[in-house]
């Protein structure tokens, strides 16, 4: 048995799977893992070298997961970002990721831009941030959501890096090659741009992108590497064809309909709404660097997002927490809680940011829970987030401890 290194006494453990609070518990951490939690009455010998804290009946819950971030996006102008030194971008990413960990996010899934180098750097402790899961570069067709060239720009052909967070690929052969390249570079999943978007200069949000054969090729390549595919999608048509072709994680999904809900349930797919970004873009997108002509597209999806979430929640679609924030708007990462609270109870929003996200990442039981063998990614919260989810939106005052992989990032116990 691994030796206990950290003990949290008098904890009220939030079992996110069961949706209940367990008072009077002792949480035992051994290295980077949770050993177990048990009643305070248990006669467990505690090694002399273990660090012990009385958390005073505060809530002990899993660290948060954000399933849709862009850690390199220090500006909302993605064209400018693509033309900036990658070394400068990496330095800004370190700052952004430290802010995420300060908010209680211990695992984030980057949805285009970050590579294995950033993941390694944070893992090896060169800067403080959440564990980083990456897709590398998103795959985009010519003129797709990841193609940041203006209508008059030329000079990119085949597979190339000059399109910001994306790699251009047209046809099944190029899609396969691009997938294999991202797998070689350490991707945890593959991302496809499957509809138009807000930040891209030459497409409409209603556009469908990539043929079914191209999508199926990416799904097959991912499966051969024991990975999965996530898709940028807005409209029902784009969402539906993606699910039918085997895409596991559908991002945004603001404009879905009942036919989409049926397919989510039939194929056990995940939906990752990113409502915080539309709210933030509407208020300050241009100030954050988004060109006004592109920022105006946010109004095509702003109000529809909450209705899509309501439909999915009521039907029992598997939901994960995402934010998709850019530039100065990263500070709104926790706003997703209050926006979703318009249509969801606190426990379901918390599940989206813990155990549901872990399931999406193929890490069920590995993260997102306070359970034996899980990663020791732990928050100590002053108060009951099930009764008042805004407790999670005030990390400076309400998060008394942030533990990542068994090490304290913040300790006010």
For the stretch 229-244, pLDDT in tens is 999 999 999 999 999 9
Q: Give the CA distances from residue 253 to residues 20, 28, 115, 232, in Å, rounded to whole numbers and listed in that order.
A: 30, 40, 25, 8
Token couple for 377: 């990614």
- 3 state SS of 168: strand
**Given a cut of 80, is residue 55 above it in pLDDT?**
yes
Query: Does 393 lie in the same domain as 290?
Result: no
pLDDT of residue 77: 83
Q: Between the CA atoms of 302, 304, 306 and 308, what dihedral angle is there, to the nearest 10 degrees?
A: -140
- How many C-beta neighbours within 10 Å does residue 328 have? 16
For the stretch 75-88, pLDDT in tens is 988 878 888 898 99
**Given a cut of 50, is residue 161 above it in pLDDT?**
no
pLDDT of residue 369: 98
Per-residue pLDDT averaged across 323-329, rounded? 94
Query: Does 27 lie in the same domain as 73?
Result: no
Mean pLDDT of the chain: 92
Per-residue pLDDT averaged across 378-395, rounded? 98
Token couple for 256: 């879905």
Percent of the chain surpassing pLDDT 90: 77
**Given a cut of 60, is residue 157 above it in pLDDT?**
no
> Do residues 182 and 222 lie in contact, with contact meaning Cβ atoms separated by under 8 Å?
no
Q: What is the CATH number of the domain that holds 25?
A: 2.30.40.10
Query: Does 201 lie in the same domain as 333?
Result: yes
**Given a cut of 70, is residue 97 above it in pLDDT?**
yes
Query: Does 147 lie in the same domain as 90?
Result: yes
Please state the pTM of the whole predicted model: 0.93
Query: Does 212 lie in the same domain as 84?
Result: yes
Per-residue pLDDT averaged across 171-198, rounded? 94
pLDDT of residue 294: 62
pLDDT of residue 160: 43
Query: Does 329 lie in the same domain as 190?
Result: yes
Domain count, the chain: 2
**Given a cut of 80, is residue 187 above it in pLDDT?**
yes
Cα first-last separation, the chain: 27
pLDDT of residue 352: 99
Query: Does 127 lie in the same domain as 39?
Result: no
Residue 1 in domain: no
**Given a cut of 80, is residue 295 above it in pLDDT?**
no
The more confident residue out of 141 and 269 is 269
Q: What is the CATH number of the domain that holds 245?
A: 3.20.20.140
The more confident residue out of 67 and 163 is 67
Q: Give the CA distances from residue 292 to residues 79, 135, 198, in Å, rounded to whole numbers and listed in that order.
A: 14, 28, 11
Indicate the residue among 319, 335, 360 that finishes a domain.
360
**Given a cut of 80, is residue 288 above it in pLDDT?**
no
Lowest average pLDDT, out of 148-162, 206-220, 282-296, 302-316, goes to: 148-162
Residue 147 in domain: yes
Could you tell me the residue range of the domain that residue 289 belongs to?
Answer: 64-360
Handedness of CA 84, 87, 88, 89 (dihedral sign): positive
């Amino acid at each position: 048995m691994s030796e206990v290194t950290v003990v949290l006494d008098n904890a009220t453990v939030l079992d996110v799977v069961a949706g209940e609070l367990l008072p009077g518990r002792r949480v035992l951490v051994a290295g980077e893992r949770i050993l177990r939690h048990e009643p305070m009455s248990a006669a467990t010998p505690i090694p002399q070298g273990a660090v012990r804290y009385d958390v005073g009946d505060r809530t002990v819950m899993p660290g948060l997961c954000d399933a849709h971030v862009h850690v390199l996006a220090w500006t909302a102008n993605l064209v400018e970002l693509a033309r900036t030194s990658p070394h400068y971008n990496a330095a800004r990413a370190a700052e952004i990721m430290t802010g995420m960990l300060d908010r209680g996010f211990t695992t984030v899934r980057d949805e285009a831009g970050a590579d294995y180098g950033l993941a390694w750097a944070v893992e090896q402790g060169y800067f403080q941030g959440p564990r980083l899961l990456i897709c590398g570069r998103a795959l985009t067709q010519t003129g797709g959501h990841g193609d940041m060239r203006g209508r008059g720009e030329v000079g990119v052909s085949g597979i190339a890096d000059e399109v910001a967070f994306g790699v251009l690929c047209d046809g099944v052969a190029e899609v396969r090659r691009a997938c294999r390249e991202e797998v070689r570079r350490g991707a945890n999943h593959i991302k496809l741009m499957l509809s138009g978007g807000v930040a891209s200069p030459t497409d409409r949000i209603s556009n469908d992108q990539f043929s079914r054969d191209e999508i199926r090729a990416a799904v097959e390549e991912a499966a051969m590497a024991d990975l999965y595919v996530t898709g940028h999608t807005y409209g029902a048509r784009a969402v539906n064809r993606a699910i039918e072709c085997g895409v596991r994680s559908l991002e945004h999904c603001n404009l879905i309909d009942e036919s989409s809900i049926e397919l989510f349930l039939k194929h056990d797919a995940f939906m990752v709404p990113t409502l915080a970004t539309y709210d933030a873009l509407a208020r300050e997108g241009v100030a954050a660097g988004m060109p006004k002509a592109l920022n105006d597209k946010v109004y095509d999806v702003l109000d529809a997002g909450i209705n899509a979430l309501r439909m999915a929640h009521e039907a029992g679609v598997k939901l994960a927490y995402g934010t998709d924030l850019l530039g100065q708007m990263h500070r709104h990462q926790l706003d997703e809680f209050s926006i979703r609270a318009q249509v969801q109870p606190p426990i379901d929003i918390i599940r989206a940011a813990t155990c549901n996200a872990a399931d999406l990442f193929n890490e069920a039981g590995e993260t997102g829970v306070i359970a034996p063998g899980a990663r020791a990614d732990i928050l100590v919260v002053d108060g009951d987030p099930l009764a008042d989810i805004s407790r999670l939106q005030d990390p400076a005052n309400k998060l008394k401890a942030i533990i990542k992989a068994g090490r304290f990032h913040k300790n006010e116990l």
